[in-house]
Amino acid sequence: MEIRRDIIDTFLRWKEDADRKPILLKGARQIGKTWAMEAFGKEAFEFCAKFDFDRQPELKSVFQTTKNPERILKELSLYTEVPLVAGKTLIIFDEIQECEEALNSLKYFYEDAPEYHIIAAGSLLGVAVKKKSMTVPVGKVRILRMFPISFREFLRSADERLFEYVEGLQQATPLPEIIFNKLKTEYRRYMVCGGMPEAVISLLDNKGMEAVEQVLQDILDLYELDFAKYAAPKEIPRIHTIWHSLPSQLAKENRKFIYKVLKSGARSKDYEDALLWLEDAGMIYRTFNITKPALPVSAYEDPTAFKVYACDCGLLRRLAKLPATVVLDSTANYTEFKGSMAENAILQSLMPLLKDDVPHYWSPDSRAEVEFIIQHGEDIIPIEVKAEQCVSGRSLSVYTEKYQPKHRIRFSFLNLQYKSGLLSCPSPLSEWYERFLPKE
């Protein structure tokens, strides 16, 4: 089974852009960057030429001797069986972090040979660039962030008829019970496997949970190896400690990141570089508290108060050693961590919509907390996340009374409706939330 990725539609629009720049594709390991590039090449071009700087280290010499795109292409043609024809060939530079000169060459392709279609990607690109003090040709490339498979992409492959029904929704009216129940079932399955392509395919191909668990564990093991390979020696134990603390950090009723959970006497200055490493690797998201929901939201950020989520809910579940059967059971009582899983899945669905702009949260004191605050045009929207159908709690009411927002959103397992400024949106429909808000 192949999963159609929405990023291919982004690539298709880029292909036709008259002022096209080479793409520099970023994202966590094992999310399918190489597959997406190659699938796009097969779909939209006569030819697709991939140059892998990890598998073919001899390619580096091509870029070390010249900056002229035509000469580079002439020499690269010796390493591929397909012609490198402007407009007809997609040129892929994979694992580009292994060759700084190739990364810099993107600037010259944009300036001197814009007729060629080039996409470059690399493993832990953000980490490698910092570690090697590499220069990214800012302004000469389009930096594009790729994410794990979304629930929308999952649903399209899992149940196409249900996907088409959801795609046709335009108003916040309750879903028929049979539709709603199917949607909740598929969403629970998604939360089990997460968005790593190999795990998704294992689940949808009915290979069994043992296969899904093994895929997720293999990815976690690979991440551990990355710590040793790409991080500075003194940071390795700190990165490891933070990564493995995610379940315990998120299991707290107040999910604010606490350094003493890592180690008694731990200080923020000792762990900041490790947190940044995990962010640059695309493995975590940090949501910061804001003191006031006003524009611009970033101006009211408290850098000392934040929560840390995993890039993928499936990996988080496996990291926490939470059995799949517990997630699939709507009556299972795993209290605070159930809420954490719900929040992580919602954040995962919001990230592609927000163009990599990580949401904030609002928590003025220990008595109130709104899980996410997002900027929607000129509006600031508070988002409450509930794991199931229990929506009791006063935090959103406290926020509403104090700031009178135009719209509020509550994601839960209640049916769809909009009433008195509150969009009650089923969590499985979180990627479609914008169409359910009233049109101005």
What string of pLDDT tens digits covers the 440 residues of the chain?
A: 889 999 999 999 999 999 999 999 999 999 999 999 999 999 999 999 999 999 999 999 999 999 999 999 999 999 999 999 999 999 999 999 999 999 999 999 999 999 999 999 988 888 887 777 778 888 999 999 999 999 999 999 999 999 999 999 999 999 999 999 999 999 999 999 999 999 999 999 999 999 999 999 999 999 999 999 889 999 999 999 999 999 999 988 788 999 999 988 888 999 999 999 999 999 999 999 999 999 999 999 999 999 999 999 999 999 999 999 989 887 776 666 888 999 999 999 999 999 878 999 999 987 889 999 999 888 999 999 998 887 777 899 999 999 999 999 999 999 999 999 999 999 999 999 999 999 86
Q: Helix (H, G, I), strand (E, B), or coil: what is residue 42?
A: helix
Total residue count of the chain as it appears in this document: 440
Q: What was the pLDDT predicted at 334?
A: 65
Q: Please, are residues 51 and 93 in contact by the beta-carbon 8 Å criterion?
A: yes
For 199-236, give one letter per residue: b (16+ CB within 10 A) or e: bbbbbbeeeeeebbbbbbeebeeebeebbeebbeeebb
CA distance 226 to 213: 20
Residue 1: CB atoms within 10 A of its CB come to 11
Instruction: For residue 332, give every residue at least 6 positions away whose Cβ sits within 8 Å of its Cβ, in sequence order, or none.
Output: 325, 326, 338
Q: What was the pLDDT predicted at 335?
A: 64
CA distance 386 to 345: 11
**Total-model pTM:** 0.94
CA 348 vs CA 60, 162, 309: distances in Å? 36, 21, 9
Q: Beta strands 47-52 and 89-94: pairing type?
A: parallel
CA distance 97 to 129: 7
> What is the DSSP secondary-structure string of 298-331?
GGGEEEEEEEEEES-HHHHHHHTT--HHHHH-TT
Query: Tokens for 207?
Result: 């290979």
Q: What was the pLDDT predicted at 136?
A: 85
Query: Tokens for 164?
Result: 């088409």
Q: Please, are residues 214 and 24 in contact by the beta-carbon 8 Å criterion?
A: no
CA distance 352 to 23: 17
Q: What was the pLDDT predicted at 252?
A: 84
Query: Tokens for 376?
Result: 């929607």
Q: Is the peptide bond before 296 cis (omega within 30 degrees of 0)?
A: yes
Query: Tokens for 100?
Result: 């700084």
Q: What was the pLDDT predicted at 183?
A: 97
CA 163 vs CA 82, 200, 381, 426: distances in Å? 37, 16, 26, 15
CA distance 436 to 431: 11
DSSP structural state of residue 404: -
Q: Please, are residues 385 and 191 in contact by the beta-carbon 8 Å criterion?
A: no
